[in-house]
Amino acid sequence: MGQDGFTVDQDLIRQGLEELRQARDEARDLERQIQYLEPGELTAEDRNTRGAREVFQRRMTGDGSVRSAAAEIRLRLDERIRAYEEAVGEYARAEDNANAEQRGKES
């Protein structure tokens, strides 16, 4: 039991962190895949089709694109993962200190 009378389920936290890491990796994969995405059906070389290809590319890889959204999701997940890892580390240190203090009182 922790110093404040509660405990943290370490297994559940590890499971949650693993799920966050998997989601981050999926966002990274999507970000990479989109980089090479091309509108295969837009093959004509007329002005309208070229314009449509350009619009497609901007929607996939430009500002406000699917790729930029995947990158933003990945960055936010990285931030959450780091924050949770720090909190888990702080909790583990507090738990160790509480256990050492308890052992000291019992001696």
pLDDT bucket at 4, cuts 50 / 70 / 90: low
List C-alpha distances in Å: 13 to 17, 46, 81, 85, 92: 6, 56, 11, 9, 12
- pLDDT of 107: 62
| Residue 56 resides in a domain | yes
CB 58 within 8 A of CB 65: yes
- Is 4 domain-assigned? no
Is residue 36 a part of any domain in this protein?
Answer: yes
Which of residues 57 and 31 earns the better pLDDT score? 31
Provide the domain count of the chain: 1
Q: Would you say residue 2 lies in a domain?
A: no
Mean pLDDT of 82-93: 87
The pLDDT mean for the chain works out to 83
CB 16 within 8 A of CB 23: no
Q: Would you say residue 98 has pLDDT above 80?
A: no
The answer as to whether 48 is a domain residue is: yes
| Domain assignment present for 46 | yes
Q: Which of 6-10, 44-48, 81-85, 86-90 has the lowest mean pLDDT?
A: 6-10
Average pLDDT over residues 7-29: 90
Per-residue pLDDT, 2: 46
Domain with 76 in it: 10-106
Rg (CA), the chain: 24
